[in-house]
């Protein structure tokens, strides 16, 4: 604080946090010391959107690409490989 300047109150600006949705509470136990740590999973819309896009991409790579490959094969060759 500067002694030559009078004190002026400046309110703190609160940052907006994204809305969080509590999903599950769980915990883990340390059997050596018999202590327990409890925690809660919180899901934000950003996490939900990222997880949805990632699962969609994995489904396309895991399902559509092999299906295109199998569609180009002859039926007898495809049954022989299965």
Residue 73 CB coordination number (10 Å): 12
What is the value of pTM for the model shown?
0.49
For the residues 73-78, what does the mean pLDDT come to?
85
Helix, strand, or coil here: 66?
Answer: helix
Residues 6+ apart with CB under 8 A from 63: none
Q: For residues 22 and 27, what is the distance between their CA atoms, to the nearest angstrom?
A: 15
Are 20 and 44 in contact by the 8 Å Cβ rule? The answer is: yes
Q: Is residue 5 domain-resident?
A: no
Q: Is residue 69 domain-resident?
A: yes
> H-helix or E-strand containing 27?
strand 21-30
pLDDT digits (tens, 9 = 90+) for 11-30: 677 777 767 666 767 778 88
Q: For residue 56, give its domain range.
A: 21-81
Q: Is residue 36 domain-resident?
A: yes
Say how many domains are in the chain: 1
Q: Is residue 40 domain-resident?
A: yes
For the residues 50-72, what does the mean pLDDT come to?
90
Q: For residues 56 and 42, what is the distance between their CA atoms, to the nearest angstrom?
A: 22
């Amino acid at each position: 604080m500067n002694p030559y300047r009078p004190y002026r109150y400046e309110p703190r600006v609160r940052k907006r946090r994204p809305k969080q949705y509590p999903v599950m509470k769980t915990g883990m136990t340390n059997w050596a010391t018999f202590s327990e740590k409890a925690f809660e999973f919180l899901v934000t819309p950003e996490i939900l959107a990222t997880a949805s896009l990632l699962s969609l991409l994995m489904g396309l790579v895991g399902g559509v690409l092999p299906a295109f490959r199998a569609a180009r094969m002859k039926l007898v060759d495809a049954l022989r490989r299965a």
